[in-house]
Amino acid sequence: MKNYPLQRFSVAPMLDWTDRHCRYFHRLLSEHALLYTEMVTTGAILYGKGDFLQFSQPEHPVALQLGGSNPADLAKCAQLAAERGYDEINLNVGCPSDRVQNGMFGACLMAEPELVAECMAAMREVVDIPVTVKTRIGIDEQDSYEFLTRFITLVSEKGGVDQFTIHARKAWLSGLSPKENREIPELIYERAYQVKKDFPHLTIAVNGGVKTLEECETHLKHLDGVMVGREAYQNPYLLAEVDQRLFGADKPIIKRRQVVQKMLPYIEDEMAKGASLGHITRHMLGLFQAMPGARQWRRHISENAHKSGAGIEVVEAALAKIPAELDV
């Protein structure tokens, strides 16, 4: 199997979705996909209550996405993450929400390439793992190709960054909700393709609107990597063929039932540590999407996982809703 870059295929960082339980579940489907944490702010890591860097060894390769714009704080968080064993640190320069802008991070940082470069250089100085950027193609009226390439040039040359994931839509910093910013601005994949042509020495991956492995294969003819977001969450079995089709792995494709069976010991172990059944199983609801019994699977888990005393028998009963004759 070829030695592909980590970014060849990844599951996007998604707030409230790609937590550690989700990543463990996704890892059962794909050995090679790069998995991202939810975006975590530097303030949460440095001053918040709780362990915002928690993950388990089976999640590797796993990347931490940071939100922030203070070079010293980012460097400290990157150092902590590297010590914990993360495979990559990624800076969020793409989220357009008001809350993120008020904290001076996310997509608004595209207008501050010098600051982003300073942040990236500070992190690179203290860690040996890759330090990368996830960005948009532009913001508001600043959406020319020249604006994007100026950002790429400054951040790569002054910040020492050689890996970028480009969400191929611009972001409107006001007037659109985060959800609308994922759907309304036009997707322009050609911008990412052109960046790779003009910066062949950089590793460039694309994100935005990708829903099938066929689309992934098309993008990989032009780019080094592709990142899938909501489709990988809502239809997680998409990940089951990633290793074979995108990484050249020679192994059987895991069955859905096998994935469920492999999740059961994890669920029991996590519940013994105090985790809620529903917080784990919510990530599994889409596993049987478009299959006979899928609605019954989702319904049984949704209605029972949050009940007092609920355990793995809820998942086993939900699995029994899938017709036994189906080899899935």
Residues identified as active-site: 95
Q: 258: Cβ–Cβ under 8 A, 6 or more apart, which residues? A: none
Q: Which two tokens stand for residue 121?
A: 């250089």
Residue in 156, 214, 228, 220 with CA at minimum distance from that of residue 193: 220
Residue 64: strand pairing partners: 89
Distance CA 213, CA 217 (A): 6
Cis ω for the linkage preceding 61 (within 30 of 0)? yes
Q: Which two tokens stand for residue 222?
A: 């032009």
Residue 135 near residue 156 (C-beta atoms within 8 A):
no
Helix axes 256-272, 20-29, angle to 10 degrees: 150
**Which residue reads 């099938």 in tokens?**
212
E-strand stretches of the chain: 9-11, 34-41, 62-67, 88-93, 131-136, 163-167, 203-207, 225-228
Distance CA 113, CA 127 (A): 21
